[in-house]
Amino acid sequence: MCKNLFTSESVTEGHPDKLCDQISDAILDAILKKDPYAHVACETCAATGLVHIMGEISTNCYVDIAGEARNVIKEVGYNGADSGFDGNICGIITSINSQSADIALGVDCAIEMKDSSKDDFNRIGAGDQGIMFGFACDESPELMPLPISLAHNLAKRLAKVRKEGILDYLGPDGKTQVTLEYENGRPSHIESVLISSQHMDGISQGRIRQDIIENVILPAIPSEISNKNMQVLVNPTGRFVIGGPNGDAGLTGRKIIVDTYGGYSRHGGGAFSGKDPTKVDRSAAYAARYVAKNIVGAGIASRCEVQLSYAIGVANPVSVMVETFGTSRIENDRISRAIQETFDLRPAAIIETLGLRAPIYRSLAAYGHMGREDLGVSWEKLDKIDELREKLNI
């Protein structure tokens, strides 16, 4: 019997990097509400008493960027001296330019359109070169790796008990981590759980540990996979009073593994938040997840990883790769051909199929972009199962 451990982490919406992601995506949403065809690449950084919003935005509408940022900061819970950061009075600097005209040449008219193509989906070229990965497996109901699924559940529960006043001494900043033991490639049991949560001064380590075990860990962890010998670590340093941007500078796009598959799958390196869907870093990553989930949902494989690659200004992907890790009786090259016959993976087609010009992004900026069946996002639908099965004769 082969055994191994695998660990994934998540963070709450008050984590400084996630705060920045939410600000960037709130600004994107505000712009898309008024101008669905805007080009947005918005980055945010935050430190003690200061938020800096920068990037490239081309739009025909006006949005109160500083106001959107303050709303996010206060809604997350940083609205007074007790939390260590205050959205009402923090400084906000904006450094915004329009999108580079050189980039716009490829985005606004793909190379295929320049060759007199009449296909409307060739009108948009990829906004940059790059590689994107999508993944799915049958370890959880939402077809996500179980370690990241459990880590997100813990992080959501940690935020819930704070917001509902169940543990009213907790602060917005928090992190979770789950280690699973696998036997012969399948989840066996939880080996350890780690939770670090910001808290008010004067609360004892013993009380925090007991409260979090009772109100966060036990409700969020399924009993069938918990282990009586499971190691539980809560605020291991013994103190976490200084949190958020006051304790650690935040930056958009620094939690890309939390945003995707918890390290279980490969990652192309591109971040999501603050980017409109012509940026394939975002839209093609969603499309790759859509493809992989339908492969697993169709029973073609129990684990599937899809890689897409693009060239700037070119609509069609440069490559489509599928890996099923020996979990399918169908050859990977046959599956790849079926994917390309079933899914249109040009940026304009992805945007239309998945409805990506809608202001849906701030809600995705915490607790993961993948597996979000709770939000009803289009790339989690299993609507291509029958077509894939038909093409593969299964």
Kindly state the tokens that stand for 340: 């390309």
Nearest to 345 by CA among 313, 309, 370: 309
Which 8-state DSSP code applies to residue 275?
A: B
Q: Any residues with CB less than 8 A from the CB of 79 and at least 6 apart, and which?
A: 73, 86, 87, 88
Choice among 156, 255, 293, 303 that is catalytic: 255
Answer for the pair 323, 304: CB distance below 8 angstroms, yes or no.
yes
Choice among 25, 173, 281, 323 that is catalytic: 281
Which residues make beta-bridge pairs with 122? none
Choice among 13, 15, 41, 289 that is catalytic: 15
DSSP secondary structure, 28-46, as one string: HHHHHHH-TT-EEEEEEEE
Choice among 6, 9, 13, 18 that is catalytic: 18
Q: Is 279 a catalytic residue?
A: yes
Q: Is 3 a catalytic residue?
A: no
Q: Is 333 a catalytic residue?
A: no
Max CA distance (Å), the chain: 70
Please report, as a single letter, which amino acid is at residue 277.
P
Q: Is 189 a catalytic residue?
A: no
Q: Is 254 a catalytic residue?
A: yes
Q: Is 323 a catalytic residue?
A: no
Q: Is 15 a catalytic residue?
A: yes
Q: Is 162 a catalytic residue?
A: no
Q: Is 175 a catalytic residue?
A: yes
Q: Is 275 a catalytic residue?
A: yes
Segment 228-234 long-range contacts (CB within 8 Å, at least 24 positions apart)? 230/189, 230/190, 230/191, 230/192, 230/193, 231/191, 231/192, 231/193, 232/192, 232/193, 233/192, 233/193, 233/194, 233/195, 234/194, 234/195, 234/196, 234/197, 234/205, 234/208, 234/209
Which 8-state DSSP code applies to residue 73?
A: H
Choice among 279, 282, 289, 369 that is catalytic: 279
Choice among 248, 344, 352, 387 that is catalytic: 248
Choice among 21, 29, 35, 43 that is catalytic: 43
Choice among 85, 133, 240, 343 that is catalytic: 240
Q: Is 39 a catalytic residue?
A: no
Distance CA 315, CA 124 (A): 6
Choice among 39, 70, 156, 254 that is catalytic: 254
Q: Is 346 a catalytic residue?
A: no
Q: Is 34 a catalytic residue?
A: no
Choice among 47, 66, 104, 249 that is catalytic: 249
Cα angle 27-11-252, degrees, rounded to a multiple of 5:
35
Kindly state the tokens that stand for 102: 């050189």
Choice among 6, 9, 13, 17 that is catalytic: 17
Choice among 52, 56, 74, 75 that is catalytic: 56
Q: Is 17 a catalytic residue?
A: yes
Choice among 39, 157, 175, 303 that is catalytic: 175
Residue numbers annotated as active site: 15, 17-18, 43, 56, 175, 240, 248-249, 254-255, 275, 279, 281
